[in-house]
Structure 1
Amino acid sequence: MSSAKLEHKGYNRGLILGLTMAESMILLVFCLLLVAAAIILAEREKRQAAEVQVAELREQLADIRRDRDDLGRRLALVANPSDRAAVEEEWRELVSAREARLQMDKQGIAVEELADLANARELLRAGGYDLESVDKLMERLAELQQQLQARAESGEQPHQWPPIISLSDADDYSFEIGSAELTPSFEQSLRGDITRTIAESLDEYNVDIVEVIGHTDEQRIARKESNFDQTVLDVLARRTAVDTIVPGDNAGLGLARAIAVANVLRSEPALSGMTVLPLSAGQLIMPGDRLTTGKAGDMRERRRIEIRIRRRDTPDTP
Structure 2
Amino acid sequence: MTINFNALKQAEMFALLAMVFLLMIGYQERQSEIVNKPEVTPTPTPTPTPTPSQEEPPIILIPSKDLSFQLARAFPKQGPDYLRSYIKNKIVPQIEQQLQNYDVDMIEVIGHTDGSPINGLGNLDQNLLNNLARANSKTIDFHTLVTRFKKLEAGSNADLGLIRALIVVKSLQDLQINGECNCNVKAFRAYSAAQLYLPGKWTKPAPSNQKHNPKRRRIEVRLTKWNPH
TM-score of the superposed pair, with normalisation by structure 2: 0.63
User: 1:227 and 1:159 mapped to 2: Cα distance?
Assistant: 41
DSSP-derived class of the 1:308 partner: strand
Distance 1:309 1:158, change over 3 A: closer
Percent of residue pairs bearing the same amino acid type: 31
Q: What residue is the counterpart of 2:111 in the other structure?
A: 214
Q: How does 1:164-183 map to 2 (within 5 A)?
A: 164-169=59-64, 171-182=65-76, 183=79
User: 2:223 and 2:171 mapped to 1: Cα distance?
Assistant: 16
Q: Deviations over 1:281-305 (max 9, x none)?
A: 1111111212112132121221110
Q: What residue is the counterpart of 1:188 in the other structure?
A: 85
Q: What residue is the counterpart of 1:294 in the other structure?
A: 208
**Does the CA-based 8 Å contact 2:104-2:224 persist in structure 1?**
yes
AA of the residue aligned to 1:308: R
CA positional deviation for 1:268: 2.1
**Does the CA-based 8 Å contact 2:186-2:226 persist in structure 1?**
no
Equivalent residues, number: 161
Q: How does 1:13-162 map to 2 (within 5 A)?
A: 160-162=55-57
Which of 230, 255, 275 is matched with 2:187 structurally?
A: 275
CA positional deviation for 1:209: 0.8
User: 2:219 and 2:119 mapped to 1: Cα distance?
Assistant: 22
- The reply on whether 1:235 has 2:131 as its aligned counterpart is yes
Distance 1:274 1:196, change over 3 A: farther
Q: Which runs of 4+ in 1 moved over 6 A?
A: 153-158
**Does the CA-based 8 Å contact 2:107-2:185 persist in structure 1?**
no
AA of the residue aligned to 1:277: R
Distance 1:235 1:199, change over 3 A: farther
User: 1:186 and 1:165 mapped to 2: Cα distance?
Assistant: 15
Q: Which runs of 5+ in 2 are unaligned?
A: 1-47, 137-144, 177-181
Q: What residue is the counterpart of 1:28 in the other structure?
A: none
Distance 1:202 1:157, change over 3 A: closer
Which of the pair has more CA radius of gyration? 1
User: 1:311 and 1:256 mapped to 2: Cα distance?
Assistant: 23
TM-score of the superposed pair, with normalisation by structure 1: 0.46
Distance 1:192 1:155, change over 3 A: closer
Distance 1:159 1:271, change over 3 A: closer
Q: Deviations over 1:58-86 (max 9, x none)?
A: xxxxxxxxxxxxxxxxxxxxxxxxxxxxx
AA of the residue aligned to 2:172: L
- The reply on whether 1:257 has 2:153 as its aligned counterpart is no
Distance 1:185 1:197, change over 3 A: same
Which of 151, 155, 175 is matched with 1:248 structurally?
A: 155
